[in-house]
Amino acid sequence: QVRLVQSGGGLVQPGGSLRLSCAASGFTLSGYTMTWYRQAPGKERELVATITSAGGSTVYADSVKGRFTASRDNAKNTVYLQMNSLKPEDTAVYHCNARFFTGTYYWGQGTQVTVSS
Q: Which pLDDT tens digit goes with each residue over 25-73? A: 998 998 899 999 999 999 999 999 999 887 779 999 999 999 999 999 9
* DSSP code string of 31-78: T-EEEEEEE-TTS--EEEEEE-TTSS-EEE-TTTTTTEEEEEEGGGTE
Query: What is the per-residue pLDDT for 53?
Result: 82
**Mean pLDDT for the chain overall:** 95
In the chain, count of helices (H) and strands (E)? 0, 11
